[in-house]
Amino acid sequence: MSVQQFDVAIIGYGPVGATLANLLGLCGLSAVVLEREPSVYHLPRAVSLDGEGMRLFQTLGLAEELLPRVNVSRNIRHVNADGQLLLLISRGGIGPEGWNHAYRFYQPELEAVLRQGASRYPSIDVRLRCEAFALDERSDDVRIRYENLASGKLDEVSARYVVGCDGARSTVRRFMGAALHDLRSHERWIVLDMILDEPPSGVPEAADECGRVIDAIQYCDPARPTTFVPMPGQRHRWEFMLMPQDDPAVITRPEKIYELLKPWRIDPERSKIERGVVYTFHSALATSWRRDRLLLAGDSAHQTPPFLGQGMCSGLRDAANLAWKLRDVIAGRASERLLDTYETERMEHVRAYIELAVELGGIIQATDPEIARRRDAELIANPTMLRPITPRLGPGLHGDAPPPAGARAAQPRLGDGARFDDRVGYHFAVLARQRLIDALPIRIMDWIDQMGARLVPADGEAADCLSSLNTDAVVIRPDRHILGIAANPVELEALFAQTPWQIADEGETLQRWPAAIAR
């Protein structure tokens, strides 16, 4: 019996797996998706999406479909037991990505949009109720054996690469033999999702100038740390830290839930409990994200406490970083070593988010009254406002180049009003002043063409973007990070000489790597 062959197999079809499937379809790769569940999980889990994620959905052509289903988030306010402001995380307004800094969503709706998006690509084969149980690695592919849970039938497929998007208990991670590095934050919380006929009372600190409840609140109350998050439509989320006196077996019963909700004066007759569950917030990093043809993405590679709203967002960054590298390796344009940069770039990047989330968790979860009192005094005396962080990638394609190499690229509008990403798609791009473009020799133009890059003259806001970088050209990767900048054609050629693509030059195939990778 012949075994069907694919470029990539994705194990798991949550938001990260579905985003990766869309990207691989966009890249023209064939992929099989194996998901054990029969449909989208019907309850909300993740709730936060940042501008970077919305920009990725723009690349996928799905942002406009999502916009009516999300609401814009403004701030996360940390207040003490007396309602005094301790810390403000400001996320209002349009950010450098060209989108609002933060949005909230209902996960089943977001996943439905992503799955519908993947269905646009005939090369993407989604198999629901199919659970992978064995990965047989061979020299040039991986045989994936799986069970059709609906029929009980065993079957198999093969793929050049397998990506585990299968969550914290990842089967792919187990086959890789990768351990989870514990970052030492494991607290149990009650996660409560409610549908309310009208917005809750008792949260004036969450309201905007028009009285709309839009801000998330972290109640840093040592008696019971609590989180409140308004969501799209009539949905609202509360998270209550599980305290020593709580019985996990009964705390999620309706009568107990409405006791917890008393400060918000929630009427049981005008509300519905959508979900109440005790959940442990973990912080962990897989020790390895790639072994030969097996890779990890999303929760299988990292787990982030929810205090920064970056868990799913980090998984989306994984997909954006990985898909184009798989494309270029499978197409033969780059060596497999390009895939090594996936782990080195992403691991340190996501670590920055996890560590900040753990730090915020330490502020929120202080339950000793004296420690909380000292915390309050220090934070009130030193008002703090945090902006969304934008760490550089870890060591990778940018080699030893200083910033802005490895940093996120802004998305300006061009002179005709078009968004930059809409002009370049999921490709490398060279944004340059016209005078530099006019001075480019034929060999550089050939390199740009062979790389599949898009050369974009800088006008409109894009010219201002180059001015802010104090340069005449910037090379931007498909995942919207900066490869490097150049002030003239010589510097641009030197920048291309660091790339790992196999570029034909006078009949010879060359391969060039940045110093950090070559070592």
Model-level pTM?
Answer: 0.94
Show the domains of the chain with their CATH numbers.
Answer: 4-71+104-179+285-354 (3.50.50.60), 420-518 (3.40.30)
Q: What Å distances lie between residue 400 and 390, 453, 455, 517, CA to CA?
A: 19, 23, 25, 10
Structure tokens given for 266:
């929630």
Q: Residues 263, 211: contact at Cβ < 8 Å?
A: no
- The secondary element (H helix, E strand) that includes residue 330 is helix 311-330
CA 23, CA 118: separation in Å to the nearest integer? 9
Amino acid at 198: E
Please, what is the angle between helix 311-330 and helix 340-364, to 10°? 180
DSSP per-residue string spanning 261-282: TGGGT--GGGEEEEEEEEEEE-
Residue 178 and residue 291 in contact, taking contact as beta carbons nearer than 8 Å:
yes
Q: What is the pLDDT along the chain (519 residues), one digit of tens a residue?
A: 689 999 999 999 999 999 999 999 999 999 999 999 999 998 889 999 999 999 999 999 999 999 999 999 889 999 999 999 999 998 888 999 999 999 999 999 999 999 999 999 999 999 999 999 999 999 999 999 999 999 999 999 999 999 999 999 999 999 999 999 888 778 899 999 999 999 887 777 777 777 778 899 999 999 999 999 999 999 999 999 999 999 999 999 999 999 999 999 999 999 999 999 999 998 999 999 999 999 999 999 999 999 999 999 999 999 999 999 999 999 998 889 999 999 999 999 999 999 999 999 999 999 999 999 999 999 999 888 888 789 999 999 998 899 999 999 999 999 999 999 999 999 999 999 999 999 999 999 988 888 889 999 999 999 999 999 999 999 999 999 999 999 999 999 988 887 776 544 433 333 444 433 333
Helix segments in 382-433, DSSP class H: 420-424
Asked if residues 227 and 238 have their Cβ atoms less than 8 Å apart, the reply is yes
User: Which residues share a beta bridge with 194?
Assistant: 236, 273
Cβ proximity of 8 and 326 under 8 Å: yes
